[in-house]
Amino acid sequence: MARATDLPLDVLERRLGAERLERSVPLAPLTTFRIGGPARLLYRARSADELVQVLRVVRELEIPWFLLGRGANVLVGDRGFPGLVVRVEVGGIEFLDDVRVRAGAGVETFPDLIDATVERGLGGLHHFVGIPSTVGGALWQNLHFLSPAPDRERTVFLEEVLESAEILTEEGERKTVDVDYFEFGYDESILHDRDDVVLS
Protein backbone atom coordinates (compact mmCIF):
# COMPACT_ATOMS: atom_id res chain seq x y z
CA MET A 1 0.00 0.00 0.00
CA ALA A 2 1.28 3.46 -0.85
CA ARG A 3 2.26 5.74 1.99
CA ALA A 4 -0.01 8.73 2.50
CA THR A 5 2.84 11.09 1.61
CA ASP A 6 3.11 9.35 -1.75
CA LEU A 7 -0.52 9.67 -2.84
CA PRO A 8 -0.61 9.85 -6.65
CA LEU A 9 -2.61 13.09 -6.78
CA ASP A 10 -2.25 13.52 -10.53
CA VAL A 11 -3.66 10.05 -11.18
CA LEU A 12 -6.49 10.54 -8.68
CA GLU A 13 -7.40 13.90 -10.22
CA ARG A 14 -7.42 12.42 -13.70
CA ARG A 15 -9.47 9.35 -12.73
CA LEU A 16 -11.90 10.97 -10.28
CA GLY A 17 -11.91 14.62 -11.35
CA ALA A 18 -9.77 17.32 -9.75
CA GLU A 19 -12.88 19.28 -8.76
CA ARG A 20 -14.25 16.26 -6.85
CA LEU A 21 -11.20 15.80 -4.61
CA GLU A 22 -11.41 18.00 -1.53
CA ARG A 23 -8.19 18.65 0.36
CA SER A 24 -7.57 18.93 4.11
CA VAL A 25 -11.24 18.47 5.01
CA PRO A 26 -12.03 18.61 8.76
CA LEU A 27 -13.68 15.31 9.70
CA ALA A 28 -15.11 16.43 13.05
CA PRO A 29 -18.24 18.00 11.47
CA LEU A 30 -18.85 14.75 9.59
CA THR A 31 -19.09 12.57 12.71
CA THR A 32 -21.62 12.41 15.53
CA PHE A 33 -18.91 12.84 18.17
CA ARG A 34 -17.67 16.04 16.47
CA ILE A 35 -14.00 15.32 17.08
CA GLY A 36 -11.00 14.56 14.92
CA GLY A 37 -8.55 16.07 12.50
CA PRO A 38 -8.68 16.45 8.72
CA ALA A 39 -8.77 13.99 5.87
CA ARG A 40 -5.90 14.58 3.49
CA LEU A 41 -8.37 13.99 0.65
CA LEU A 42 -12.14 13.54 0.61
CA TYR A 43 -14.35 12.31 -2.22
CA ARG A 44 -18.14 12.43 -2.01
CA ALA A 45 -19.66 9.44 -3.83
CA ARG A 46 -23.17 10.55 -4.83
CA SER A 47 -24.22 7.48 -6.81
CA ALA A 48 -23.56 3.76 -6.71
CA ASP A 49 -21.56 4.07 -9.93
CA GLU A 50 -19.35 6.76 -8.39
CA LEU A 51 -18.84 4.66 -5.28
CA VAL A 52 -17.81 1.68 -7.40
CA GLN A 53 -15.48 3.86 -9.45
CA VAL A 54 -13.65 5.43 -6.50
CA LEU A 55 -13.28 2.08 -4.74
CA ARG A 56 -11.83 0.44 -7.83
CA VAL A 57 -9.36 3.32 -8.20
CA VAL A 58 -8.13 3.30 -4.59
CA ARG A 59 -7.85 -0.48 -4.57
CA GLU A 60 -5.94 -0.49 -7.85
CA LEU A 61 -3.56 2.25 -6.68
CA GLU A 62 -3.29 0.67 -3.21
CA ILE A 63 -3.70 3.96 -1.40
CA PRO A 64 -5.07 4.27 2.16
CA TRP A 65 -8.84 4.80 2.12
CA PHE A 66 -11.71 4.89 4.58
CA LEU A 67 -15.49 4.84 4.09
CA LEU A 68 -17.55 7.36 6.02
CA GLY A 69 -21.32 7.51 6.09
CA ARG A 70 -23.09 9.51 8.77
CA GLY A 71 -20.09 9.14 11.07
CA ALA A 72 -21.97 7.51 13.95
CA ASN A 73 -19.78 5.51 16.34
CA VAL A 74 -16.66 6.73 14.53
CA LEU A 75 -13.77 8.26 16.44
CA VAL A 76 -11.24 10.20 14.37
CA GLY A 77 -7.88 11.04 15.91
CA ASP A 78 -6.56 14.59 16.09
CA ARG A 79 -4.17 13.82 13.24
CA GLY A 80 -7.08 12.95 10.97
CA PHE A 81 -6.73 10.45 8.14
CA PRO A 82 -3.68 10.60 5.85
CA GLY A 83 -5.31 9.01 2.79
CA LEU A 84 -8.61 9.34 0.92
CA VAL A 85 -11.87 9.39 2.86
CA VAL A 86 -14.82 8.30 0.73
CA ARG A 87 -17.98 9.98 1.99
CA VAL A 88 -20.92 7.76 1.03
CA GLU A 89 -23.72 10.04 -0.17
CA VAL A 90 -25.49 7.54 -2.41
CA GLY A 91 -29.14 8.56 -2.21
CA GLY A 92 -32.41 7.34 -3.60
CA ILE A 93 -35.42 5.62 -2.09
CA GLU A 94 -37.42 3.44 -4.50
CA PHE A 95 -40.50 1.40 -3.63
CA LEU A 96 -40.31 -1.84 -5.61
CA ASP A 97 -43.82 -2.98 -4.67
CA ASP A 98 -46.23 -2.73 -1.73
CA VAL A 99 -43.83 -4.28 0.77
CA ARG A 100 -40.28 -3.78 -0.54
CA VAL A 101 -38.09 -0.70 -0.76
CA ARG A 102 -34.58 -0.15 -2.11
CA ALA A 103 -32.42 2.64 -0.68
CA GLY A 104 -28.96 3.90 -1.54
CA ALA A 105 -26.13 3.19 0.89
CA GLY A 106 -25.91 6.85 1.91
CA VAL A 107 -29.61 7.29 2.72
CA GLU A 108 -30.10 8.06 6.41
CA THR A 109 -32.23 5.38 8.03
CA PHE A 110 -33.65 7.99 10.37
CA PRO A 111 -35.44 10.10 9.50
CA ASP A 112 -35.40 9.68 5.71
CA LEU A 113 -35.94 5.97 5.09
CA ILE A 114 -38.10 5.37 8.15
CA ASP A 115 -40.35 8.34 7.37
CA ALA A 116 -40.74 7.21 3.76
CA THR A 117 -41.73 3.67 4.76
CA VAL A 118 -44.09 4.78 7.53
CA GLU A 119 -45.85 7.13 5.08
CA ARG A 120 -46.49 4.04 2.91
CA GLY A 121 -47.83 2.11 5.89
CA LEU A 122 -44.83 -0.21 6.13
CA GLY A 123 -43.59 -1.41 9.50
CA GLY A 124 -40.32 -2.93 10.57
CA LEU A 125 -37.90 -0.04 10.21
CA HIS A 126 -39.84 2.04 12.75
CA HIS A 127 -38.02 0.12 15.50
CA PHE A 128 -34.88 2.09 14.62
CA VAL A 129 -36.26 5.60 15.10
CA GLY A 130 -33.67 7.88 16.62
CA ILE A 131 -30.62 5.78 15.77
CA PRO A 132 -28.17 7.71 13.56
CA SER A 133 -27.06 5.60 10.61
CA THR A 134 -26.96 5.35 6.87
CA VAL A 135 -28.22 2.26 5.08
CA GLY A 136 -24.65 1.10 4.48
CA GLY A 137 -23.70 1.63 8.11
CA ALA A 138 -26.85 -0.14 9.27
CA LEU A 139 -25.86 -3.26 7.35
CA TRP A 140 -22.24 -3.05 8.53
CA GLN A 141 -23.40 -3.06 12.16
CA ASN A 142 -26.64 -5.06 11.89
CA LEU A 143 -28.50 -2.07 13.28
CA HIS A 144 -30.61 -2.95 16.29
CA PHE A 145 -32.78 -1.43 18.97
CA LEU A 146 -32.50 -2.87 22.43
CA SER A 147 -35.46 -3.90 24.48
CA PRO A 148 -37.13 -3.08 26.74
CA ALA A 149 -39.39 -0.55 25.13
CA PRO A 150 -43.17 -0.17 25.27
CA ASP A 151 -43.86 -2.18 22.11
CA ARG A 152 -40.80 -4.49 22.14
CA GLU A 153 -40.37 -7.72 24.04
CA ARG A 154 -36.88 -8.30 22.59
CA THR A 155 -34.07 -6.68 20.64
CA VAL A 156 -35.00 -6.08 17.00
CA PHE A 157 -32.28 -6.42 14.33
CA LEU A 158 -32.04 -4.98 10.84
CA GLU A 159 -31.49 -8.46 9.41
CA GLU A 160 -35.15 -9.19 10.21
CA VAL A 161 -36.36 -6.70 7.60
CA LEU A 162 -33.56 -7.08 5.03
CA GLU A 163 -34.10 -9.21 1.94
CA SER A 164 -31.03 -8.42 -0.17
CA ALA A 165 -28.42 -5.79 -0.91
CA GLU A 166 -26.25 -4.73 -3.81
CA ILE A 167 -22.56 -4.76 -2.93
CA LEU A 168 -19.14 -4.33 -4.44
CA THR A 169 -17.08 -7.28 -3.24
CA GLU A 170 -13.49 -6.95 -2.13
CA GLU A 171 -12.61 -8.79 -5.35
CA GLY A 172 -14.27 -5.99 -7.36
CA GLU A 173 -17.48 -7.78 -8.38
CA ARG A 174 -20.73 -5.83 -8.28
CA LYS A 175 -23.57 -8.14 -7.33
CA THR A 176 -26.76 -8.61 -5.34
CA VAL A 177 -26.59 -10.86 -2.30
CA ASP A 178 -29.30 -12.12 0.05
CA VAL A 179 -29.48 -11.50 3.78
CA ASP A 180 -27.68 -14.75 4.65
CA TYR A 181 -24.53 -13.54 2.90
CA PHE A 182 -23.92 -11.02 5.68
CA GLU A 183 -23.61 -13.62 8.47
CA PHE A 184 -25.18 -11.15 10.87
CA GLY A 185 -24.64 -11.27 14.60
CA TYR A 186 -24.94 -8.80 17.45
CA ASP A 187 -23.07 -5.66 16.26
CA GLU A 188 -21.54 -7.91 13.63
CA SER A 189 -21.57 -8.73 9.93
CA ILE A 190 -19.26 -10.20 7.33
CA LEU A 191 -18.42 -6.61 6.39
CA HIS A 192 -16.19 -6.48 9.47
CA ASP A 193 -13.99 -9.20 7.95
CA ARG A 194 -14.19 -8.44 4.22
CA ASP A 195 -13.74 -5.23 2.26
CA ASP A 196 -17.16 -5.61 0.63
CA VAL A 197 -19.03 -2.32 0.36
CA VAL A 198 -22.80 -1.82 0.38
CA LEU A 199 -24.15 0.11 -2.61
CA SER A 200 -27.91 -0.20 -1.90
* Domains of the chain, residue spans: 4-88, 93-198
pLDDT over threshold 80, residue 148? no
Q: pTM of the entire structure?
A: 0.92
Q: Minimum mean pLDDT among 5-19, 25-39, 143-157: which range?
A: 143-157
Look at residue 153 in the predicted model and tell me its pLDDT. Answer: 72
Look at residue 156 in the predicted model and tell me its pLDDT. Answer: 86
pLDDT over threshold 60, residue 1? no
Look at residue 151 in the predicted model and tell me its pLDDT. Answer: 63
Taking only the tens place, the pLDDT of each residue in 24-37 is 999 999 999 999 99
Look at residue 150 in the predicted model and tell me its pLDDT. Answer: 62
| CATH class for the region spanning 4-88 | alpha beta
CATH value of 93-198 in 3.40.50.300, 3.20.20.220, 3.30.465.10, 3.30.930.10 = 3.30.465.10
Task: Identify which has the larger pLDDT, 4 or 156.
Answer: 156
Taking only the tens place, the pLDDT of each residue in 97-113 is 999 999 999 999 999 99
The mean pLDDT of 178-188, rounded to a whole number, is 96
Q: Distance (Å, rounded) from C-alpha 181 to C-alpha 165? A: 9
Task: Identify which has the larger pLDDT, 146 or 93.
Answer: 93
